[in-house]
Amino acid sequence: PAKLVDCRSDDVERSELFIVEGDSALGTARLARSSDFQALLPIRGKILNVQKASVSDMLRNAECTAIIQVLGAGSGRSFDLEAARYGKIVLMTDADVDGAHIRTLLLTLFYRYMKPLVEAGRVFAAVPPLHRIEVIGAGRRKN
């Protein structure tokens, strides 16, 4: 897919794919990543709820097909864990209700159509920070 920012490494054990929520997060993630082994794939908004959708609907969904294509291991019964291009898949969503929903939808996609990745412990959910503390004066804190 055109939006994939790939890594330079071909070493599956070392390479990581970060699926990020939106183009704005892509910019920040691009600055913070190690391009040697960390790839980025932005997704737009909420993906299809594959728990309720048919296989044909899932395959017509641009975000779902982009994820399947980038991983390079197929989906469903034809999924081949050995063919996966990345050793770790990290889901990076916002620290809000929509981000939690998107993370759940992504996990459902992986569980239903790429279950061996989940069973092998290769799918991770990043935990976004919720708060920041700034010191604004001698002994004072601002939350």
Give the rounded distance of the alpha carbon of 82 from its chain centre: 19
Q: What is the pLDDT along the chain (143 residues), one digit of tens a residue?
A: 778 999 999 999 999 999 998 766 777 788 788 999 999 999 988 899 999 999 999 999 999 999 999 999 999 999 999 999 999 999 998 888 898 999 999 999 999 999 999 999 999 999 877 666 677 776 665 55
Distance CA 135, CA 139 (A): 7
Helix axis angle, 97-113 to 62-71, nearest 10°: 60
The catalytic residues are: 21, 94, 96, 98
Q: Is 23 exposed, middle or buried (0-12, 13-18, 19+ CB in 10 A)?
A: exposed
SS3 state at 34: coil
Domain architecture of the chain: domains with CATH: 16-142 (3.40.50.670)
Q: Identify whether the C-beta of residue 89 lies closer than 8 Å to the C-beta of residue 116.
A: no
